[in-house]
Amino acid sequence: MNIAVNTDPVRKTDAGMLVLPFTGMSLKKNGKELLKELGFECGVLEDFKADAGEVVFLYGTTGKTASGRVALLGFGEGRKTGDYRKAGAAISGRAVDLKIGSVAVDMTGIKAFAATAKSSAASVVAAFVEGCFSGSYRFDRLKSGKTNKKTDDSKPKKIIELIIRSEQAQLAAIESGIAEGIVTGSCQNLTRDLVNLPGNHLEAADIARAAVESGERCGYEVKVFDKEAIEALGMGGLLAVNKGSEQPPTFTVLDYRPAGKASKTIAIVGKGVSFDSGGISLKPSEGMGEMKSDMAGAASVIGAVEAAARLALPVRVVGLIPATDNMPDGSAQKPGDVITTYSGITVEVGNTDAEGRLILADALTYAVKHYNPDVIIDLATLTGACIVALGYSVAGLFSNNDKLAEDICESGMRTDEKVWRMPLWEEYDDMIKSDIADVSNLGARGAGSVTAAKFLEKFIEGHKKWAHIDIAGPSYATGKGGAKVTGGTGFGVRLLVDFLKRWS
């Protein structure tokens, strides 16, 4: 998507669709006047209320606009940047559905929009552009097109050009917002692409390769440990989960260093289970295909590190991705096995479907021992229990540091990637005790997301600023819970980027 800015008069803005955005307040103030100026009847305003994401098309142009069609777009009350992101997603989605390749948006009211949102013009535009990337996203790389006889190849399948119309005084702010929105939006779509790939197209080696390619594009270092190196390290958790697989595991370290001295070092760890059958503790067949998304945490780490590099943030970001699939081969680990993790802590495997915490355990310990970061955050599609607690749109947050938890929650609210803090009290320790090992990977009945977090806490070597984000619900949209899209959502990228910017 090529995004350009111009200062042409609205009548002379030439595109397949001209978009006139309004908040509820600006619609009442300027709506009738602008429509009359462009030669349209004002009766449409009886139906258009400017709700966030509301779109109404106007046809029968009188020749007073150069664009082929005009759309009214609602920004809602416009008090949150999320309203602008939602609107961007709505209008770009409609443009793709209608095969409109060129879209122009009149943002000459950006100063008022930013004031209403109590934000900067750049932030408002960035949110809108992020929404445009999200709404126009389609995963069709595995479609041959041979079965769709009605496809008109002469019409564009995506938005080729997005034009943002600006006043001269706001040009710099809008260009800054566009640049930021492009980075975050495209990195989130990169994450979605990885999550949407099925298991036969994305193994552990492919996750590592995606990280290497990102590092080469954006100028940061990536190191991939193969199975032999993982064995030499003694990463017993990752190796145990991989025992049932014909595909070797990988452990990938992404290391973005800013040009100057880094203000802080932030480690982000992502669960990279490329497909989760449950292992010997086999999952039900219904819905198992969705388990290709069990590497969404890893994908979000790649997206976030790439975004940090492209934005040249002044903070060092170390991404760590343990990756494997979890399969029920004859050599697979069994319930009741006892394994020794990279930390030296022994684990009784109560359930082989509680595999994500085993591979994260090794990566968390490695992060502390080798990088001593100021902050550690892990993201993982860890438990179905978190979906039971919070549904499909909100992630569970667990942290041993109140300030860190507060900052992550605030980033979640700003970016519409909401998290809700869950307890991490000592009482839950008893639920993961083992009679024959140091700890069990299976908690007692109930509080499944909490006991999973308590398990991970054992492997951070006493680090004082750690957070675990369980993204099982919002990372993959199944159509449940009112979701309007299906497949990978890229959840976590915007959240992490906002957090990194503010901690830097």
Q: How far apart are CA 180 and CA 197, in angstroms?
A: 26
- Strand stretches in 400-504, DSSP E: 419-421, 439-440, 466-470, 476-477, 487-488
Residue 320 tokens read as 């760590």
> What pLDDT score was predicted for residue 338?
98
Distances (CA, A) of 223 to 131, 247, 321, 441, 481: 33, 19, 11, 29, 39
Q: How far apart are CA 291 and CA 101, in angstroms?
A: 34
> What pLDDT score was predicted for residue 63?
64
Question: Does residue 266 contact residue 377 with C-beta atoms inside 8 Å?
Answer: yes
Q: How far apart are CA 292 and CA 391, in angstroms?
A: 20
The set of residues, in sequence order, having a beta carbon less than 8 Å from that of 76 and lying 6+ positions away, is 23, 24, 50, 51, 52, 53, 83, 86, 87
> What pLDDT score was predicted for residue 273?
98
The set of residues, in sequence order, having a beta carbon less than 8 Å from that of 171 and lying 6+ positions away, is 5, 7
> What pLDDT score was predicted for residue 486?
83
> What pLDDT score was predicted for residue 68?
76
> What pLDDT score was predicted for residue 65?
81
Distances (CA, A) of 323 to 262, 365, 461: 28, 16, 22
Residues identified as active-site:
283, 357
> What pLDDT score was predicted for residue 371?
98
> What pLDDT score was predicted for residue 147?
87
Residue 259 tokens read as 């040009």
Per-residue pLDDT tens listing for the chain (504 residues): 999 999 988 888 889 999 999 999 999 999 999 998 888 888 889 999 999 999 999 876 566 788 878 999 999 999 999 999 999 999 999 999 999 999 999 999 999 999 999 999 999 999 999 999 999 999 999 998 888 777 667 788 899 999 999 999 999 999 999 999 999 999 999 999 999 999 999 999 999 999 999 999 999 999 999 999 999 999 999 999 999 999 999 999 999 999 999 999 999 999 999 999 999 999 999 999 999 999 999 999 999 999 999 999 999 999 999 999 999 999 999 999 999 999 999 999 999 999 999 999 999 999 999 999 999 999 999 999 999 999 999 999 999 999 999 999 999 999 999 999 999 999 999 999 999 999 999 998 899 999 999 999 999 999 999 999 999 999 999 876 544 568 999 999 999 999 999 987
- Predicted structure pTM score: 0.96
> What pLDDT score was predicted for residue 146?
84
| Cα 67 → chain centroid | 34
Reduce the DSSP state of residue 129 to 3 states and report it. helix
Q: How far apart are CA 363 and CA 367, in angstroms?
A: 6
> What pLDDT score was predicted for residue 360?
98
The set of residues, in sequence order, having a beta carbon less than 8 Å from that of 32 and lying 6+ positions away, is 42, 45
> What pLDDT score was predicted for residue 332?
98
The secondary structure of 82-116 as a DSSP string is HHHHHHHHHHHHHHHHTT--EEEEE-TTHHHHHHH
Q: How far apart are CA 249 and CA 293, in angstroms?
A: 17
> What pLDDT score was predicted for residue 14?
87
Q: How many residues does the chain have?
A: 504
